[in-house]
Structure 1
Amino acid sequence: MSQKAELSLPPLAEAEQDLPGLPATVDSVAVARLYGEPLFQLPLDLYIPPDALEVFLEAFQGPLDLLLYLIRRQNFNILDIPLADVTRQYLSYVDQLRKHNLELASEYLLMAAMLIEIKSRMLLPPKKTEDGSEPEDPRAELVRRLLEYEQIKLAAAKLDALPVMGRDFLRAAVHIEQSLQPRFPDVEAVDLRDAWLDILRRAKLTQHHRISREQLSVREHMSIVLRRLQGKRFIEFEHLFDVSRGQAVLVVTFIAMLELARERLLEITQAEAFAPIYVRLAYQPS
């Protein structure tokens, strides 16, 4: 330690000039630092209390944890616990605990009293039961508690070994620029209505008065629309209507198009708001 201090501190002559208030003659090596200031000589009246340093070799979560540790460490059969040896070791630990923490030792003293009670019951002749069956072993209840505690302890150790977010791994967070993902606006019902009214206005300009009765089929016009879209990437919405055939055909064609869209055979899209509406066949995965 002194060699390291010699390398880090200046010689005495220079140190006396930099540090006012130091005695005229001191050792050239600081043995320690007290509140950041170099200490060149240990005080003669230095007192170290006996409890300044404590070493704890084992830490237990409670009386059952200590008792289970004593049994497993010596490979005792938990179904046939030698209570005399275990109680003696248990009391030795409790005596050490009482010297430092009396409140914590009270919980362990309760288990010690239980062990002594069980041992005394084993020394007495067993009482016969009313039905004449063999009496229960006085250690049975303690064994059940120890086995249940051991199962819970092992389960807790397995849970603690599982990876935990924030401790063993972090959730991946990826930022994607919205501009890199073009999203076309959805076609609203109002857009279809306005496009349909525009077609009706154009149909009235080229309307011919005919006296005839024509049987129109929605299914037939559905097939006509599908045939017109076959082999093409898309067709503008208004180009699917033949305004020269009159308003009745336009209505049936529009109904046929809505029916195809409802059955997911058509896709109606537009590139941006207020842009022309286009119709194309729906994508069918092979």
Structure 2
Amino acid sequence: MTAEAADLPIVGAQDTTPDVVDGLALARLYGEPLFKVPTDLYIPPDALEVFLEAFQGPLDLLLYLIRKQNFNILDIPMADVTRQYLTYVDQIRSRNLELAAEYLLMAAMLIEIKSRMLLPSNKTQEGEEAEDPRAELVRRLLEYEQIKLAAFDLNNVPQLGRDFLHAQVYIEQHTVLHWPQVELIDIQSAWADVLKRATLVQHHKISREELSVREHMTAILRKLQSTRFVEFADLFDPSRGVPVLVVNFIALLELAKETLIEITQAEAFAPIYVRLAYSPA
């Protein structure tokens, strides 16, 4: 319809719409109130289109026609199915010729199958009956139906973003450093290792030496004040002999008992370290 035809009044039509309906506008056009339906309103033919059935292709349409009428897919009545198929193709040809091209190819195949069925059947050289012209079409329809049903079942599986969402919860955490607790068996093992090293250094000189636990405690504290950590084995001097090592070990235990030192370990089976339990002035 041209623009001139759209401006012409409709012959024989009488506008009975009142200028104002209860003081309310029927609609707004570009912000202006509209109190009556315009007589030159033009609606294109393709503005509204209703699809009663939606098909994904020629095989989908053909399968729909067979299943809708409960036809045996292994013994398709080609005349009835072809007639109904062509009726649908004629409908879509009037609206979309490009879409109808694929359906027309299937229509030509149906007509060819029907024509071959009308011809007398020729037996093969072995005397067997010739293959049914519908066999290839039936095979394609059965494969398509299996894939369609599998796609339907797959679509029913819950999908992320459509049926459910991942729950995400943010929990604020404060990391607190916890040193592993040094057990008594760990100290015993470290002490046994020190004694083993001390036996490697033997002296044949016999002498008498007075040893003071308090002096060794003071020496250990003085050594720890100059550094942050000292490895357990570094607090012992194997060259001074086993008696000195024993007194030094007793001094270390006394300091731990009085909570003047801390015996720590970074992880299980790691070296044992000794440090002051207080900050030196």
Amino acid at match of 1:130: Q
CA RMSD of aligned residues (A): 3.6
Aligned partners of 1:119 and 1:32: how far apart in 2?
58
Quote how far apart the aligned CAs of 1:242 are.
Answer: 10
State the partner residue of 1:97. Answer: 92
Q: Residue deviations 1:31-79, cap 9 Å, x none?
A: 1122343211222222223332211011111000000011111111100
Gaps of 5+ in 2: 1-18, 181-189, 206-230, 244-263, 275-281
Counterparts in 2 of 1:210 and 1:83: CA distance versus 1, 3 Å: farther
Figure out how many residues of one structure are paired with residues of the other and give that number. Answer: 190
State the partner residue of 2:121. Answer: 126
1:270 matched to 2:266: yes
State the partner residue of 1:64. Answer: 59
Gaps of 5+ in 1: 1-25, 186-194, 212-235, 247-267, 279-286
Counterparts in 2 of 1:29 and 1:177: CA distance versus 1, 3 Å: closer
Q: Residue deviations 1:116-157, cap 9 Å, x none?
A: 100111111012212221111110000000000000111111
Q: Residue deviations 1:68-96, cap 9 Å, x none?
A: 01111111110011111111111111000
Aligned counterpart for 1:48 among listed residues 43, 51, 59: 43
Amino acid at match of 2:203: H
Larger CA Rg, structure 1 vs 2: 2
Aligned counterpart for 1:209 among listed residues 203, 211, 214: 203
TM-score, structure 2 normalization: 0.58
Percent identity reads: 70
Counterpart mapping for 1:23-42 below 5 A: 27=20, 28-42=23-37
**Secondary structure in 2 aligned to 1:51?**
helix
TM-score, structure 1 normalization: 0.57
Aligned partners of 2:44 and 2:169: how far apart in 1?
57
Quote how far apart the aligned CAs of 1:238 are.
Answer: 4.8
Quote how far apart the aligned CAs of 1:160 are.
Answer: 1.0
State the partner residue of 2:70. Answer: 75
Aligned partners of 1:181 and 1:98: how far apart in 2?
75
Counterpart mapping for 1:17-28 below 5 A: 27=20, 28=23
Counterparts in 2 of 1:238 and 1:69: CA distance versus 1, 3 Å: same
Aligned partners of 1:181 and 1:167: how far apart in 2?
41
**Secondary structure in 1 aligned to 2:112?**
helix
Q: Residue deviations 1:230-252, cap 9 Å, x none?
A: xxxxxx9559x995549xxxxxx
State the partner residue of 2:155. Answer: 160
Aligned partners of 2:175 and 2:64: how far apart in 1?
61
